[in-house]
């Protein structure tokens, strides 16, 4: 046992004295010591129930012969952080979470670990930590929120943001807006559509690091408590069999995750997190492979904001295993990958059944013949631009219009609400990338404002920042290289004609190379927006979005 390094022999008597101070018995100290990484807090709706999940995990670990020990992980609520300086602190927490969990796990020599995350950066941060620490680890999330109900229709957080846009356009009054905010988010849990948190929890199942139902069982269901107990049992079985995260998080497992990403219509943020997690596991992923996988993988689910179904519907339809079973019918998954169940993917999904062909389309009748995400390239985005094409209106798949250029999200929002954006425009928001932000803000506010004001089928948005999984429309993010390092998006001028062609994976400004080069001669780097604290350190170390915005020492 790793924990023998702090528990056994005369030399470790001082360590044992500190365990005695914690109230540990001699019998407990003879058992494997299992870290329970609790993301519980009282500010994030997706985390307010995690204390109950953690208690159930502890019972499962103890029942299976381990000694559970809890320590915390932070988490930011992107919905609360949205639209102000707080959003600069969202993506950056992914690395804080990974670093602090690594520190705690290795400093105290834990033998195994159960991670209990839920929201956007919390899940990938803990997956990154699991790959680094590489002790037997199981994930069990806090679970998704139930959908809200407004006037008899299911709603979610994206409906709320779009209601703000409708209010600004005079389409609804104050009383209706108040009715929305009282009913859109009715329970604890991660917001109820296929947004980033739920995308990552579902992909944790696909990678093999979470048990069946991890991504879809609603937070308020007692099934979630049972799942947590089973996770505690499972980590002890992994410990006994010495199955470690890097045995599970292989290149084939990440290819399975990308295929499931396309089938589910996940958030574009997965295109940041999958490469970053893979990097920690020693696997390098070139995002261009996403288009290859997308071309052969049909889109089977249209959950909110792309459609009218929600996480609870996906759960009732058979969950992630049912979607994987559909993909396996056309050999689109590697079924030999190991998982935290101690079985392969193929063994796990053998008996899965699609119980609702409207929520999970049969692979013979998909929503779209190719996947939910596309990687675009062109003279604005020589490396990458990412779009959730499953949430784009058909008439916006190909679009051409004049650039409306803004050097911050705040300026763009003011213009949208001020009625200055017209049908046909292409809104360009730059200097919001990993370095330029710093922190690569998520832009649900401008995308929701565009949709709420009735412009979702006529206006495109391009940014070196990123989008919420709740965003919909022709919203193209992660443009790399970003403006802050002199990427071509920095050279676009007001009125330039921009052509978006999602089916052909292209994104271009109709300006000659010679003109762009002349503009480059006049371009100068901006002074950093932040010069102290964590954001300043992050800005100095963060890499491009097409590499997952990982941190590197230059």
Torsion 278-283-288-290 (CA) sign: negative
Alpha-carbon span 522 to 502, nearest angstrom: 31
- 473/129 Cα distance (integer angstroms): 33
How does 513-544 read in b/e, with b if 16+ C-beta sit within 10 Å? eeeeeeeeeeeeeeeebbeeebbeebbeebbb
Measure the CA angle with vertex 197, ends 33 and 249; round to 5°: 55
**Close Cβ partners of 306 (under 8 Å, ≥ 6 residues apart):** 194, 265, 372, 388, 390, 391, 472
Instruction: Categorise residue 552: left if φ over 0, alpha if ψ from -120 to 50, beta otherwise.
Output: beta
**Residue 468 annotated as catalytic:** yes
Distances (CA, A) of 420 to 135, 169, 253, 417: 54, 12, 46, 8
- Is 69 within 8 Å of 104 (Cβ atoms)? no
Rounded to whole angstroms, the Cα distance separating 204 from 138 reads 10
Phi then psi dihedrals of residue 372, to 5 deg: -75, -15
Structural element, H or E, at residue 311: helix 311-316
Give the integer Cα–Cα distance in Å for 238 and 332: 27
Q: How many CA atoms lie within 13 A of 475 on its CB side?
A: 29
The dihedrals phi and psi of 182, each to the nearest 5 degrees, come to: -85, -15
Residues 6+ apart with CB under 8 A from 535: 88, 89, 92, 438, 439
Peptide bond into 305 cis (omega under 30): yes
From the candidates 468, 475, 480, 544, give the one annotated as an active-site residue.
468
Cα-flanking dihedrals φ and ψ of residue 68, to 5°?
Answer: -80, 135
Q: Quick one: how many helices (H) and strands (E) in the chain?
A: 22, 14
- Contact call for residues 303 and 265 (beta carbons, < 8 A): yes
What is each CA distance from 120 to 2, 202, 279, 386, 404, in whole angstroms? Answer: 31, 12, 18, 18, 30
> Could you tell me if 82 and 164 are in contact, meaning their C-beta atoms sit under 8 angstroms apart?
no
Backbone angles phi, psi at 307, to 5 degrees: -145, -160
Query: Which helix or strand (DSSP H or E) is residue 254 part of?
Result: helix 251-264
Preceding peptide of 438 cis, ω within 30°: yes
**Cα 373 from chain centroid?**
13
Torsion on CA atoms 531, 535, 539, 542, rounded to nearest 10 = 170
CA 551 centroid distance within chain: 18
Residue numbers annotated as active site: 468
């Amino acid at each position: 046992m790793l924990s023998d390094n702090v528990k056994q022999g005369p030399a470790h008597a001082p360590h044992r004295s500190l365990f005695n101070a914690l109230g540990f018995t001699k019998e407990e100290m003879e058992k494997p010591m299992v870290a329970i990484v609790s993301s519980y807090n009282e500010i994030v709706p997706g985390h307010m129930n995690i204390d109950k999940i953690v208690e159930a995990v502890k019972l499962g670990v103890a029942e299976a012969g381990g000694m559970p020990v809890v320590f915390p992980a932070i988490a930011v609520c992107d919905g609360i952080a949205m639209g102000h300086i707080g959003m600069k602190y969202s993506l950056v927490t992914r690395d804080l979470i990974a670093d602090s969990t690594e520190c705690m796990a290795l400093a105290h020599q834990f033998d195994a670990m159960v991670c209990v995350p839920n929201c956007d950066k919390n899940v990938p941060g803990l997956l990154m930590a699991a790959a680094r620490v590489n002790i037997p680890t199981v994930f069990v999330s806090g679970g998704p929120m139930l959908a809200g109900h407004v006037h008899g229709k299911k709603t979610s957080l994206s409906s709320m943001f779009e209601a703000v846009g409708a209010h600004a356009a005079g389409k609804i009054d104050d009383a209706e807006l108040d009715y929305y905010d009282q009913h859109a988010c009715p329970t604890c849990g991660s917001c109820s559509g296929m947004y980033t948190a739920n995308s990552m929890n579902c992909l944790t199942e696909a990678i093999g690091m979470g048990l069946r139902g991890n991504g879809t069982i609603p937070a308020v269901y007692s099934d979630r408590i049972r799942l947590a107990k089973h996770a505690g049992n499972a980590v002890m079985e992994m410990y006994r069999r010495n199955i470690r995260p890097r045995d599970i998080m292989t290149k084939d497992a990440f290819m399975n995750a990308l295929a499931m990403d396309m089938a589910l219509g996940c958030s574009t943020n997965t295109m940041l997190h999958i490469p970053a997690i893979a990097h920690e596991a020693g696997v390098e992923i070139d995002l261009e492979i996403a288009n290859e996988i997308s071309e052969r993988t049909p889109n089977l689910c249209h959950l909110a904001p792309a459609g009218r179904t929600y996480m609870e519907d996906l759960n009732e339809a058979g969950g992630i295993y049912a979607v994987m079973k559909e993909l396996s019918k056309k050999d689109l998954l590697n079924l030999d990958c190991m998982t935290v169940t101690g079985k392969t993917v193929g063994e796990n999904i053998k008996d899965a059944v699609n119980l609702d062909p409207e929520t999970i389309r049969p692979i013979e009748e998909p929503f779209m013949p190719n996947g939910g995400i596309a990687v675009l390239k062109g003279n604005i985005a020589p490396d990458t631009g990412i779009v959730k094409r499953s949430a784009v209106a058909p008439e916006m798949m190909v679009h051409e219009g004049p650039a409306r250029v803004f050097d911050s999200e705040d300026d763009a929002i003011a213009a949208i609400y001020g009625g200055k954006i017209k049908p046909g425009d292409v809104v360009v928001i730059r200097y919001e990338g990993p370095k330029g932000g710093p922190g690569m803000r998520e832009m649900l506010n401008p995308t929701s404002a565009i949709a709420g004001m009735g412009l979702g089928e006529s206006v495109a948005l391009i940014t070196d920042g990123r989008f919420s999984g709740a965003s919909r429309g022709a919203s193209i993010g992660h443009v790399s290289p970003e403006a802050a390092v002199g990427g071509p998006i920095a050279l676009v001028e007001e009125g330039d004609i921009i052509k978006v062609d999602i089916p052909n994976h292209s994104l271009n400004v109709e300006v000659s190379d010679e003109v762009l080069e002349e503009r480059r001669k006049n371009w100068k780097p901006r002074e950093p927006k932040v010069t102290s604290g964590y954001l300043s350190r992050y800005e100095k170390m963060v890499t491009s979005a097409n590499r997952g915005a990982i941190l590197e020492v230059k």
